[in-house]
Copies of this chain bind each other. A is one copy, B any other.
Amino acid sequence: MVSLAGGLPAAELYPIAEIQAAAQRALAKHGTAALEYGPVEGLPALRALIAQRISTETGGLFSSANVMLTTGAMQGLDLIGKVLLDEGDTIVAQSPTYLGALDAWRPRMPVYKKLDWTAPDTDALRTCKFAYAVPNYSNPTGVLVGQVCRSALLNDVLESGTWLVEDDPYRSLQFEGDPGPTILERYVAEHPGPYNGPIIYLGTVSKTLVPGLRVGWIVAESNIIQALALAKMSTDLSSSMFTQAVAFELLEAGFDKVHAQTIAPVYRERRDALCHEAALRLSPWFEWEIPVGGMFVWMRAKGNAINTDELYQFALDENVAFVPSSVFDFSGEDCFGMRLNFTRNSPALLREGIERLERAIRKYVSR
């Protein structure tokens, strides 16, 4: 089976030796503090380091009170739902949307309204609990949202008085240059002083280092952090201080930034391999944009002629997997697209996967 389905990094690039060394330093330096139940908000040294980084990157003033560590950014999404959402509340979100967010918030049965970047719906923003966006190389579409659109959304969020959840796991996976300021950064540029804004920003080491440490973070105004910490307390008491201490050692040394420079060219090469092979084999039936970062290519069936929920079984029969668009659509109605991951497999395997996908499509259309 060639899986183009998951959202997984290239395992062969995991920095095992650096993590081994960091684990040794973590215990030597932090001692028993790395082995306790933590403060629920996370290892103080790592909270402070992230506050300092965000301050430097954005030019703002963030303290530890603005930072909470989580079991991956996914737990951040879950806790945000627990704290902000009542049953049936409205969320304004990009469509298609990250599946994990849909899963996390499903228990509250939210109503979704589509976020149109070119003309945000200010009425929807006024009545929603929060907006949710992945401006950098979104999942599943790989789209990089431009600065004009970011600015428009920020203005409308500020005007409407709602929250904006800015989920940013892919930022450092840049293939064609820097994507420019995050929405948080744009906000801070216009609102100097201690951070007190409506943006709830999610970060993680899952895509830049490894997912298995399960270290993510939420940056937000301190009242929100306190409410999220209360919710986390009744969920798991705290995340692992040990993995947070390991992450601290790696981030303090700046290793994540160095490692991103290793990863990005490999991922770019894989993106090219997949897109080139797809151009040769899949373009009679599908169209797509070449993503400038991240982990995914988002393909749309030309003329909605192929139902990807149905194609999926044909693909499995050819030993290749993708994720059909319906799972990313809050209405569940979009069944003419598919998400292909290009980071997990070698270029040769990616080409093999596309070849199998072509066979599956040919069988599907002549069924």
A residues near B, CB below 8 A?
A: 8, 11-12, 14, 16, 19-20, 23-24, 27-28, 31-32, 34-38, 70-72, 74-75, 78, 82, 100, 103-104, 106-107, 206, 210-214, 233-243, 246
Residue of B nearest to A210 (CB): B35
- Contact status of A236 and B214, CB under 8 A, knowing A12-B32, A27-B19, A36-B8: yes
Smallest CB separation, A309 vs chain B (Å) = 21
The answer to whether A212 and B242 touch across the interface, beta carbons within 8 angstroms, is: yes
- Contact status of A32 and B11, CB under 8 A, knowing A72-B236, A236-B78: yes
The answer to whether B14 and A32 touch across the interface, beta carbons within 8 angstroms, is: yes
- On chain B, the residues within 8 Å of A78 by CB distance are 234-236
For the complex, give the distance between the alpha carbons of A36 and B214 in Å.
Answer: 9
From B36, B82, B212, B240, A34 is in contact (CB under 8 Å) with B212
For the complex, give the distance between the alpha carbons of A212 and B238 in Å.
Answer: 9
Residue of B nearest to A104 (CB): B234
Residue of B nearest to A240 (CB): B214
For the complex, give the distance between the alpha carbons of A70 and B75 in Å.
Answer: 13
Smallest CB separation, A174 vs chain B (Å) = 22
- Contact status of A211 and B19, CB under 8 A, knowing A71-B239, A74-B236, A233-B103: no
5 contacts between A and B (CB under 8 A): A12-B32, A100-B234, A107-B234, A214-B239, A242-B243
The answer to whether B35 and A14 touch across the interface, beta carbons within 8 angstroms, is: yes
Smallest CB separation, A287 vs chain B (Å) = 30
For the complex, give the distance between the alpha carbons of A211 and B37 in Å.
Answer: 5
The answer to whether A212 and B38 touch across the interface, beta carbons within 8 angstroms, is: yes
From B20, B34, B36, B206, A27 is in contact (CB under 8 Å) with B20
- On chain B, the residues within 8 Å of A32 by CB distance are 11-12, 14, 16
- On chain B, the residues within 8 Å of A28 by CB distance are 20
The answer to whether B16 and A27 touch across the interface, beta carbons within 8 angstroms, is: yes
The answer to whether A100 and B242 touch across the interface, beta carbons within 8 angstroms, is: no
- On chain B, the residues within 8 Å of A23 by CB distance are 20, 23-24, 27
Smallest CB separation, A43 vs chain B (Å) = 9
The answer to whether B24 and A11 touch across the interface, beta carbons within 8 angstroms, is: no
The answer to whether B75 and A236 touch across the interface, beta carbons within 8 angstroms, is: yes
Smallest CB separation, A202 vs chain B (Å) = 13
Highest count of chain B CB atoms <10 Å: which of A71, A82, A238: A71
Q: Beyond A19-B242, A23-B27, A103-B234, list 14 extra A-B contacts (CB 8 Å).
A: A14-B32, A20-B24, A35-B210, A36-B212, A71-B71, A71-B239, A78-B235, A82-B107, A100-B237, A212-B242, A213-B242, A214-B239, A235-B235, A242-B243
